[in-house]
């Protein structure tokens, strides 16, 4: 294996430039580690003339990524264009059909079309690798697929969108509203061109779908994810949760249940002393639980040029070393179709209510909860000057159906001054 | 690759039994993931009759591990006997000479003989894998060797001996002395037969030597490690450090400097709010810093049947999938010989002194520090009933030589009622 490994890189945004930079600056280190050179035969991007701060001299330029993907002088097609469909998917398919190994950072494409692309790769005896698609620089795909291959995985969860975690922690530290911090993050360029991908939880859900597929041997099932973004997380809830010893995180959780695969991406409360609770700013964290290993926690930068390029390089180096392996942890033909299941497992919930301040109001709420079989673990009513009383409740473990019955019945009591807020408290 | 991968397992202690259990209980899962069966041809251990709570029926028994290692009907020799030399090393060499892949959990053997064993493996086109040798269930060898292969590593550090971390955290939580908690840990069976391996930092240093080799492309250099155990960490220091916002950890740090490879395994102070500072009990944590990725933190169980067996299985599964790779991250022939360097980089230090309570005592200490060029960042003198005054100082960054000059000069002031304690504060 002494010939160079020849790359064709499509997409020269932050990540693509980062990969080019590493290959140029760490050439000697890479050759020492891999026993062969990594070379770039050609690149492709939307604009040829843009100054990207890195020299592209010595690389052929292709305007058409499909042309690039099928060149005779590349061994690996590196897809860094992004996008669920369109050029990224067309070029990836063309590369696999042309017998090229593929490395991609494209979580959307894999979350939606992962199984079919994996079939194409495996039928052609090729690898399709995507370490950079999940949690940036954290080698979580490798950890789950290889490092924990001897484990029956019971749960995978994590904070996998740095922008959302930045917004939530900035809200907590500054006391500002969601709208204010959203504008700040947008101004800092922390958000995708379509911010819904971030704050709507879609980007993080793409990642969760990939982790769940590997963990539980199912085809990626993005559509089966119970998805809720952070747009409705208020500074009041962040303050109240902190007062009760919790942090609010956009938490992705995947779990195999008797009735199917449970995948949730939603704002949850976690204890402020837990590793997840202590995760501030743009950092990502993935927690993996297996029958043999117990709990493994991985923490690191979830985005940015260096971290994401580092993950892409991990895949490239594996291919250079001759690594072959299934795309989703086992041959794609043996993956089950995921049966989406909503969580039936009891959980504790955080409730925040605003009650009209009149005698018996609290009693009505307590009665309604009791009637629905929801018992109260902790309750706080805050001093208040206006006519409405803010009330917090942490319930004992209850199933969601009972809680929903209670929430519905509350609406009929006439003591609610506003829509109650209910958030799941995830056991971590 | 549809024939079974046939194992010979030498050593049926906790870890060996754990591996046998996983292979028996997860046979279907492993076959689905690997596309082939994992089978055990034969096993070997000191006592054949001991009841290990797992059936060994269907496995041949070998009294001689070398016989086991060279059997025609095994593809992989799994060395779980332990020990730096003796049967473990003899059998490992025999296996490699007989063309068998080797998986081991033996940190001592690799820290001392790793380079020569790697040469033997690579010259025979075989792999020698040891995920279980470092930090138990945490896939840190894989992360460093493969997941971060595109990075120039600047620092690797971690808490890699669960027993020491258990003792230190128990001391803090209980207020008991080192001797009391040592006895408690020993009674719980948390310590090696030779406790010095744990509390002397030797076991953790073996692990550090392996991480440093991979991170910096050097031959493992256990002898070059600046080694200090936890025996001299007093409850007074744990209390005082906590009062200043720090935790005391047995921290391993490896760093490449201009003058060579710096490897330290010693009690250090870390901020109590940092991931390392919040690591309680037997859990392990490894922190890896690379030029592209930034900082990655891995946390998980560092010992025990399940976690360690999980790591052994990771190596076995990689071999089953056809993974080949260098033992220490690059071909062993290209590894440099490590040049041991002691830390010249300035660091802040924690000083605890007991001063005879007479006028001018504190002034003498302050003068001595100033004369040595060591400046004080924070200082505390505690109220005291006896004639001696406990004094804490956190210095600004200083080089160790200046600090040593100051400590030496203090001895001549006649105001010290006891030997001063000086501990490095590691920036994490």
Domains of chain A are: 5-104 (3.40.50.720), 140-289 (3.30.360.10), 348-425 (3.30.70.260)
The annotation status of A107 as a binding-site residue, yes or no, is yes
> In DSSP terms, which residues pair with A393 in a beta bridge?
A351, A379
Of A304, A312, A321, the CB nearest to B325: A321
For chains A and B, count residue pairs whose Cβ atoms are closer than 8 Å. Answer: 197
Of residues B4, B16, B88, B73, the one with CA closest to residue B313: B16
CB contact under 8 A, A149 and B317: yes
Q: Are strands A101-104 and A128-129 parallel, antiparallel or unpaired?
A: parallel
Question: Which residue of chain A has the CA closest to B33?
Answer: A330
Rounded to an integer, what distance in angstroms lies between the CA atom of residue A198 and that of residue B351?
Answer: 47
Of residues B317, B297, B298, B390, the one with CA closest to residue B352: B390
B-chain CB neighbours of A333 within 8 Å are none
DSSP conformation class of A135: S
A-chain CB neighbours of B18 within 8 Å are 292
Which residues, at least 6 apart from B385, have a Cβ–Cβ distance to it below 8 Å? none
pLDDT in tens, chain B (428 residues): 579 999 999 999 999 999 999 999 999 999 999 999 999 999 999 999 899 999 998 999 999 999 999 999 999 999 999 999 999 999 999 999 999 999 999 999 999 999 999 999 999 999 999 999 999 999 999 999 999 999 999 999 999 999 999 999 999 999 999 999 999 999 998 898 899 999 999 999 999 999 999 999 999 999 999 999 999 999 999 999 999 999 999 999 999 988 899 999 999 999 999 999 999 988 999 999 999 999 999 999 999 999 999 999 999 999 999 998 999 999 999 999 989 888 778 999 999 999 998 888 999 999 999 999 999 999 998 887 778 889 999 999 999 999 999 999 999 999 999 999 999 999 99
Of residues A114, A185, A154, the one with CA closest to residue A293: A154
Across the range A48-59, mean pLDDT stands at 92
- pLDDT value, residue B2: 79
User: Within 13 A of A59's CA, how many CA atoms are on the CB side?
Assistant: 26
Question: 3-state class of B397 per DSSP?
Answer: coil
Rounded to an integer, what distance in angstroms lies between the CA atom of residue B78 and that of residue B91?
Answer: 10
The annotation status of A192 as a binding-site residue, yes or no, is yes
Of residues A256, A286, A253, the one with CA closest to residue A269: A253
CB contact under 8 A, B149 and A313: yes
Helix axes A202-216, A107-123, angle to 10 degrees: 30
CB contact under 8 A, A292 and B306: yes
Q: What is the CB neighbour count within 10 angstroms for residue A378?
A: 13
Q: How far is CA B91 from CA B14, B61, B70, B86, B303, in A?
A: 20, 15, 8, 8, 24
Rounded to an integer, what distance in angstroms lies between the CA atom of residue B178 and that of residue B182?
Answer: 6
CB contact under 8 A, B314 and A147: yes
Q: Which structure tokens are listed for A418?
A: 């506003």
A344 pLDDT tier (thresholds 50, 70, 90): confident
Kindly write down the DSSP assignment for every residue of A100-134, as one continuous string: -EEEE--HHHHHHHHHHHHHHHHHTT--EE-GGGS
Of B292, B313, B331, the CB nearest to A35: B331
- Pick from B130, B146, B271, B279 the residue to mutate for testing the A interface (most A CBs within 10 Å): B146
Residue A1 has pLDDT above 70, yes or no: no
Q: What is the CB neighbour count within 10 angstroms for residue A293?
A: 28
A359 pLDDT tier (thresholds 50, 70, 90): confident
* CA B381-B386-B389 angle, 5° bins: 20
CA distance A390 to chain B (A): 32
Residue that has been written with the tokens 């073996």 in this structure: B206
CB contact under 8 A, A33 and B330: yes
Question: Which residue of chain B has the CA closest to A275?
Answer: B275
Rounded to an integer, what distance in angstroms lies between the CA atom of residue A82 and that of residue B33?
Answer: 29
Buried b (16+ CB within 10 A) or exposed e, A165-192: bbbbbbbbeeebebeebbebbbeeebbb
Catalytic residues of A: 207
ipTM of the predicted assembly exceeds 0.90: yes
B-chain CB neighbours of A312 within 8 Å are 150
Rounded to an integer, what distance in angstroms lies between the CA atom of residue B271 and that of residue B253?
Answer: 16
Q: Are strands A348-356 and A388-395 parallel, antiparallel or unpaired?
A: antiparallel
B-chain CB neighbours of A148 within 8 Å are 139, 310, 314
- pLDDT value, residue B66: 98
Question: Which residue of chain B has the CA closest to A32?
Answer: B330
Question: 3-state class of A316 per DSSP?
Answer: helix
A-chain CB neighbours of B324 within 8 Å are 321-322
- pLDDT value, residue B258: 86
DSSP conformation class of A280: -
CA distance B400 to chain A (A): 31
> In DSSP terms, which residues pair with B215 in a beta bridge?
none
Q: What is the CB neighbour count within 10 angstroms for residue A22?
A: 25
CB B251 within 8 A of CB B225: no
Helix ranges, A230-343 (H): 235-243, 305-320
A203 pLDDT tier (thresholds 50, 70, 90): very high
For the stretch A374-402, pLDDT in tens is 999 999 988 877 788 899 999 999 999 99
Which residues, at least 6 apart from B404, have a Cβ–Cβ distance to it below 8 Å? none
- Pick from A33, A218, A288, A289 the residue to mutate for testing the B interface (most B CBs within 10 Å): A33
CB contact under 8 A, B148 and A314: yes
- Pick from B28, B76, B147, B290 the residue to mutate for testing the A interface (most A CBs within 10 Å): B147
Residue A161 has pLDDT above 60, yes or no: yes
Question: Which residue of chain B has the CA closest to A27?
Answer: B150
A-chain CB neighbours of B139 within 8 Å are 142-143, 146-148, 296
pTM: 0.96
């Amino acid at each position: 294996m002494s010939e160079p490994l020849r790359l064709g890189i499509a997409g020269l945004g932050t990540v693509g430039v980062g990969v080019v930079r590493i290959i140029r600056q760490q050439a000697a280190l890479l050759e020492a580690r891999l026993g062969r050179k990594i070379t770039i035969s050609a690149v492709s991007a939307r604009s040829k003339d843009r100054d990207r701060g890195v020299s592209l001299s010595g690389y052929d330029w292709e305007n058409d990524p499909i042309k690039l993907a099928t060149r005779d002088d590349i061994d690996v097609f590196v897809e860094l264009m992004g996008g669920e469909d369109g050029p990224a998917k067309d070029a990836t398919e063309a590369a696999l059909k042309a017998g090229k190994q593929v490395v991609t950072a494209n979580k959307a494409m894999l979350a939606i079309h992962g199984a079919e692309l994996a079939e194409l790769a495996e039928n052609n005896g090729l690898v399709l690798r995507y370490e950079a698609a999940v949690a940036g620089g954290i080698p979580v795909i490798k950890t789950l697929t290889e490092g924990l291959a001897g484990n029956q995985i019971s749960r995978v969860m994590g904070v996998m969108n740095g922008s959302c975690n930045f917004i939530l922690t900035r809200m907590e530290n500054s006391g500002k509203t969601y709208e204010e911090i959203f504008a700040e993050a947008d101004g800092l360029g922390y958000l995708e061109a379509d911010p819904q991908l971030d704050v709507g939880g879609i980007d993080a859900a793409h990642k969760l779908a990939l982790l769940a597929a590997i963990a539980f041997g199912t085809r990626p099932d993005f559509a089966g994810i119970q998805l809720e973004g952070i747009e409705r997380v208020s500074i009041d809830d962040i303050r109240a949760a902190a007062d009760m010893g919790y942090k609010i995180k956009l938490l992705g959780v995947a779990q195999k249940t008797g009735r199917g695969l449970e995948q949730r991406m939603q704002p949850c409360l976690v204890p402020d002393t837990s590793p997840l609770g202590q995760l501030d700013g743009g950092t990502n964290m993935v927690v993996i639980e297996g029958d043999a290993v117990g709990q493994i926690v991985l923490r690191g930068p979830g985005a940015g040029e260096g971290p994401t390029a580092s993950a892409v390089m991990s895949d490239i180096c594996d291919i250079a070393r001759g690594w072959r392996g299934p795309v989703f942890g086992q041959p794609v033909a043996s993956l089950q179709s995921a049966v989406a299941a909503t969580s039936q497992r009891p959980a504790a919930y955080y409730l925040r209510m605003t009650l009209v301040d009149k005698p018996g109001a609290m009693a009505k709420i307590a009665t309604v909860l009791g009637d629905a079989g929801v018992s109260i673990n902790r309750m706080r009513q805050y001093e208040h000057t206006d006519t409405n009383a803010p009330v917090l409740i942490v319930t004992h473990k209850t199933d969601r159906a009972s809680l929903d019955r209670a929430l519905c019945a509350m609406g009929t009591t006439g003591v609610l001054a506003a829509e109650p807020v209910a958030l799941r408290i995830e056991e971590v």
